[in-house]
Amino acid sequence: MKKSLLILLIPSLLIAGCNTTPSKKRSKSSSGNESSLTTSKEGGSTTSVTTSGGSSGTTGGTSGTSGTSGTSGSSGTSGTSGTSITPPPVTEQTISQIKAEKKIGEFVSFKATLLRDAAWTNEDLMFFADGSDMIRLRVPYANYTGYLADRYHMSEYTVTAKVAETEDGIELVYDSVLTPQQTVVNCAEGTPLSYNAETTPIPVAGIAEIKAKSRQLHLNNKGHASGDLVKFTSQAVQNEYKDANKKTMVLDPDGNTITIIGDGKKMINKEDAGKYYTWIGIISVKTSIPAILGVECKYVSRTSEEESTIDVSNATEVSPSYFAKWNLTSSKYNPATNDDYYKLYKATGYVTDNTDITDSYNLGMVDKYGDSLSDAGSTSTVKGFYLVNCTGLDETSFNNCPFATYVNENTPLTVYFSMRAYSNENHLWQMMAIEAVLPMVY
């Protein structure tokens, strides 16, 4: 077969745009940075105190199902069986006022728009914004499931919760002296949103600045953290269409890349690779892997030449086995650094199927023809990697996979990709490969 490297994209026949329809809460499996790992090892800078079932490094405390979190919090009564009281009288404030006044351990109340949420280990974060700033509300999972989990995103609420302080700034914590219904109260239908992408002050950054911001976050003992609401413009280069296009890989000209995770739905279409968007989202780290929790995006018009070219010239060249030195299983926890996750990588190797799994096709890359993706009898990371859109394929999906032509062929293939996730089950990394720059097969 004759092959040639092509980086020109076929222009999309669809109108580029972002899905910004308000959504209901997602299921627990579709939030955060989508790592399947639960680990008790430290994933980064240490935080001050963590107790069972609670948050990390908070002063002011979270009252939850398994005791108090933080250095000076209130005692933990169960949110599902605790006795509710009338909410304490508080003066309604803006989020920026709450952050500035730092009334640690006191109840505050404010009106704000629920942007979205994120699932952490044993707890959930609800991100609220008004016309002044954004803040997160930390809720133990036992209190979150049910009413709070059913709140609509991009809708207005009155929030009452306690102020706490972490190493990354001021946050709010759920206190089960109030019921979930008292903590987040629906505003009347038709109430205008406090948050507005055009008027709410949102720091403008590039991927390089986002990388620097996530580097400064303090990870809890599960490797999780969240940071600022940011706005940036970059080129969409690949969707994780295997998961209904809910995740998009973006790239800048310097070879910095990050994944945008949609709010339980796609933000752009698979065919929109190459187009430019202004993204608004929340910096997030889950199990050491950074991402942007997407809130909304807007198409930015560029020339047809810009949209039809993906610049991969600044990729870092490695072998498929390069990533075996990093492991996210609890017994061998050794994550990559923050900056490693932001790199665009280039690797030349061979496509193969993981034959340990007999009921589906699971394709990946290895160094040499005949090498295996098997982890049989070992918890060490496999010397190869999975291709995100090419796992769990049935026969029809396999035949439509752009990598299928190369399976078990003694023909090397060069791919450009980012680190997407780690498979605890199969002990290997999962990479988001840019399919638009694969060699054309004639």
**Rounded to an integer, what distance in angstroms lies between the CA atom of residue 399 and that of residue 424?**
27
Report pLDDT for 29. Answer: 36
Cβ count within 10 A of residue 150? 10
In this prediction, residue 425 has a pLDDT band, given cuts at 50, 70 and 90, of very high
**Mean pLDDT, residues 170-181:** 97
Q: The pTM is what? A: 0.83
Pairing state between β 384-387 and 363-366: antiparallel
**Mean pLDDT, residues 99-105:** 96
**Mean pLDDT, residues 31-57:** 36
pLDDT tens digits, one per residue of 146-157: 999 999 999 999
CB 272 within 8 A of CB 283: no
Tokens, residue 109: 């109340």
Task: Say which range, 29-38, 95-104, 394-403, has the weakest mean pLDDT.
Answer: 29-38
CB 217 within 8 A of CB 285: yes
CB 213 within 8 A of CB 188: no
**Mean pLDDT, residues 370-376:** 96
pLDDT tens digits, one per residue of 115-173: 999 999 999 999 999 999 999 999 999 999 999 999 999 999 999 999 999 999 999 99
* Residue 270 per-residue DSSP state: G
Residues in contact with 412: Cβ distance below 8 Å, sequence separation at least 6, in sequence order: 348, 349, 350
**Mean pLDDT, residues 88-116:** 92
Tokens, residue 407: 């399976």
CB 405 within 8 A of CB 3: no
Residue with tokens 């070992």: 378
pLDDT tens digits, one per residue of 225-256: 999 999 999 999 999 998 888 999 999 999 99
Three-state secondary-structure class, residue 69: strand
Report pLDDT for 267. Answer: 87
Report pLDDT for 89. Answer: 64
* Among candidate residues 203, 98, 108, the one with its CA nearest the CA of residue 161: 108
**Mean pLDDT, residues 53-77:** 40
Cβ count within 10 A of residue 233? 18
Three-state secondary-structure class, residue 321: helix
Cβ count within 10 A of residue 92? 12
**The amino acid at 301:** S
Cβ count within 10 A of residue 419? 22
Tokens, residue 311: 């610049």
Q: Which domains does the chain have, with CATH numbers?
A: 46-186 (2.40.50.140), 222-307 (2.40.50.140), 311-441 (no CATH)
Task: Say which range, 38-42, 109-113, 267-271, has the weakest mean pLDDT.
Answer: 38-42
Residue with tokens 């199902």: 65
Q: Is the pLDDT of residue 58 over 70?
A: no
**Mean pLDDT, residues 16-31:** 49
* Among candidate residues 234, 241, 201, the one with its CA nearest the CA of residue 387: 241
60 compared with 218, residue with greater pLDDT:
218
Cβ count within 10 A of residue 314? 14
Q: Is the pLDDT of residue 379 over 70?
A: yes
Report pLDDT for 32. Answer: 47
Q: Is the pLDDT of residue 52 over 80?
A: no
Q: Is the pLDDT of residue 348 over 90?
A: yes
Task: Say which range, 20-29, 383-392, 409-418, has the weakest mean pLDDT.
Answer: 20-29
- Phi-psi group of 107: left, alpha or beta (phi > 0 → left; psi -120 to 50 → alpha; rest → beta): beta
Report pLDDT for 18. Answer: 67
Residues in contact with 152: Cβ distance below 8 Å, sequence separation at least 6, in sequence order: 22, 23, 24, 25, 114
Q: Is the pLDDT of residue 202 over 80?
A: yes
**Rounded to an integer, what distance in angstroms lies between the CA atom of residue 400 and that of residue 391?**
13
